[in-house]
Amino acid sequence: MYSETRRDLPTRQVTAVKTPLPSDNLAESGVTTYEIESITEERKRRFRWINWELAIILLILVIAGVLHGYNMFHYPYIEDDEGIYSSEAWSVMMHGQLSPYTYWYDHAPAGWIFMALWMLITGGTAIFGQVIISARVFMLVLQLASVLMVYRITRNLTGSIFAAVIGSLLFAISPFGIYYHRRVLLDNIATFWMLVSITILVGTRSLTLRRVWLSAIACGLAVLSKENAVFIIPALPLLVLIRSHKLHRGLAIFGWTVVSVSVVSLYFLFAILKSELFPPGTLPWDTSSHVSLLGTLQFQAARGKDGGLLDLNSAFWKSVNFWVRGDRFDNLPDPLLTVAGTACAIISLLFFRTNQIISIIGLGTILMWVFLARGGIVGNFYLLPILPLLAICIAMVLGIIYNRIGGYFAKRNISSSVRGVLAGSVCLILLAGMVVGTYSLTPDHGTLLPQRYVRLLTSPQADAQYEALNWAFAHIPPGSVIVTDTYAYMDLITANRGYKVYWYNKPDLDPQIKAEVGNWNHIDYLIVTDQVLFDMQTAHLTMLADAYTHSKQDARFLTDGWQVSIRQVIHTTAATGSAVTAPPNEAGLEALRQPIWRKV
């Protein structure tokens, strides 16, 4: 019964003294352990390398910040989704409403509520001028935090600064990443929370319950920011399992699950409180038409079903092709992270006996892939939550190799600096091999890569959009009814010129707006992009199409492949004054329930 000799400290000193943890805990948890030195010596040492490491981290952040931040308002063009999310954030901040229009559960709202918080703290448009600019700066902040967390995670899992530098840099300089991280996308916010959740779990040498709760909350927020994040969930309790001590293991896993599910359930509770959980007609007393969470979920689950992994023509393989080889338009593949990262995720599974945490991160990465390969809608930016994990996987595998080579030479009494150089060189050669090998998969074998970076840093692609706005303010008379690509919505609304502004799809799809606008003849101006034209045709936006056919182009702006045209609707006298206001009909409601899906 009493085998091990252990003298407990007097209770008087209990709160002040930190006892080292039982060593079996550390070995068991798989976190790299360091020899316990005397406190002063350790502090001195830490002081030295912290400063050195701090400099490295700052350098990485500067690189990440410059690559992401430089030219980020001009490239890429402002997509309609960005306009939607930033105006929803604005709506939360200013009016306490989840959307300028009826919120129809298209996505869980935590992402733009978080963004609204950012706008509140930074004073709305006060600092950045435009809402969309403020939102893109927010993305920069999130990205810097994410890079830092990738560093922290890799550093803790491998114990190696070398690996941490590789991981965070791969994540920061990914051309695919820079392009999409600049965009105001919910996936970026979800990725941030996912990394927070992981960092909290692996951030210390021993796991406390408080960290478990915080991690669970962060994971819940990730799911509520973008539903895709739900697929990392199986991996995280496994992390808790490995990281916790047997004294509180059961409680930690149980508590993590309960807390994260509770956070996610708030979304459903919200729908219940608004009587919008079930589609109309599901409950016998619920006959009025309204939006519903489950209706939207059902609709989404049914969308774009295909063979996934097993069908070479599926959306999944098309996207993989894009991620590996790029496409004609923006052409920003990342074969290194996609191919080599996935390979390293699989390799990491081999370390299950020696380093379970690394395998679990690899497993999490693979689970995210499995979700994409399930056979459903896959957008190009669906890679975003996986991207940091892929970078971590590569860095972890290189880190293990680095440590093993170092250990091999250490046995032969070779000095530590020589060891570092030798091991580092081997890893860098391996990395170079991965770069060459994976980029040879692209049509240009990576030779266009420098040009792509130049484009990221110099292209004025979004300028047409700003010019169009300036033109609109100069030429569109106050009080006009404008139907616009969502990118311009917030600027037109906040311009204080009495414009009546609508998202381009709302007059056709939102019964309330349809009734409000009446018919095409009440629209004065259209601000049109290729996206608007595409949706107009594919989603049968008839009122928009009518207005479009009755309009003439006043101005057209084009920079680097993205164009905006401003069109004035030519009113017909016959229709003016006797506008037939169509009441919302069944077809309109049906369309609202099954809205168009832009690019997912």
DSSP category for residue 34 = -
Dist. CA 382–CA 314, nearest whole Å: 15
Tell me the three state secondary structure of residue 46. Answer: helix
Give the shortest CB-591-to-other proteins separation in angstroms: 25
Q: How far is the CB of 251 from other proteins (least distance, A)?
A: 5
Q: Residue 383 class from Cβ within 10 Å (0-12 exposed, 13-18 middle, 19+ buried)? A: buried
Residue 73 and residue 469: Cα distance in Å, rounded? 15
Q: Which is nearer to other proteins, 5 or 38 (CB)?
A: 5
Sign for the pseudo-dihedral over CA of 126, 68, 184, 527:
positive
Based on CB atoms, which residue is closest to other proteins, 248 or 325? Answer: 248
Least distance between other proteins and beta carbon 263 (Å)? 9
- Binding residues for other proteins, rule: CB under 8 A, are 1-12, 14-15, 18-19, 21-22, 25, 96, 206-210, 245, 247-248, 250-252, 254-255, 258-259, 262, 266, 269-270, 273-274
Least distance in Å: CB of 27 to other proteins?
13
Whole-angstrom distance, CA of residue 528 vs CA of residue 539: 15
CA distance 6 to 103: 61
Please report how close the Cβ of residue 15 comes to other proteins at its closest, in angstroms: 6
Amino acid residing at 108: A
- 240/347 with CB nearer other proteins: 240
Q: Return the number of the residue (7 or 412) whose C-beta is nearest other proteins.
A: 7
Nearer to other proteins, 270 or 502 (CB): 270
Q: In whole angstroms, how close is the CB of 266 to other proteins at the nearest point?
A: 7
Nearer to other proteins by Cβ, of 208 and 594: the residue is 208
Within 13 Å and on the Cβ side, how many CA atoms surround 212? 25
Question: From CA 558, how far away is CA 455, in angstroms rounded?
Answer: 16
Residue found under tokens 């896993």: 253
> Rounded to whole angstroms, how far apart are CA atoms 371 and 42?
45
Characterise 188 by phi-psi region: left (phi > 0), alpha (psi -120 to 50), beta (else). alpha
Minimal distance, residue 494 CB to other proteins, in Å: 24
Q: Which two tokens stand for residue 174?
A: 């990914």
CA distances from 472 to 180, 476, 480, 526, 554 (A): 28, 5, 11, 10, 10
Of residues 3 and 288, the one with the C-beta less far from other proteins: 3
Rounded Cα distance, 13 and 3, in Å:
25
Decide whether 7 or 353 has the Cβ nearer to other proteins.
7
Q: Please name which of 80, 78, 77, 76 lies closest in space to residue 535, comparing C-alpha atoms.
A: 80
Burial of 323 (0-12, 13-18, 19+ CB in 10 A): buried
How many C-beta atoms lie closer than 10 Å to residue 300's C-beta?
A: 17
The smaller minimum CB distance to other proteins, of residues 28 and 546, is found at 28
Longest Cα–Cα distance of the chain, Å, equals 99
Cβ closer to other proteins: 3 or 573?
A: 3
What is the H or E stretch that residue 66 is in? Answer: helix 39-69
Tell me how far, at minimum, the Cβ of 117 lies from other proteins, in Å: 14
CB nearer other proteins, residue 1 or residue 574: 1
* Nearest-approach distance from CB 104 to other proteins, in angstroms: 15
SS3 313: coil
What is the closest distance, in whole angstroms, from the C-beta atom of residue 141 to other proteins in the complex? Answer: 26
Q: Cβ 115 to other proteins, closest distance in Å? A: 17
Cis before 584? omega within 30: no
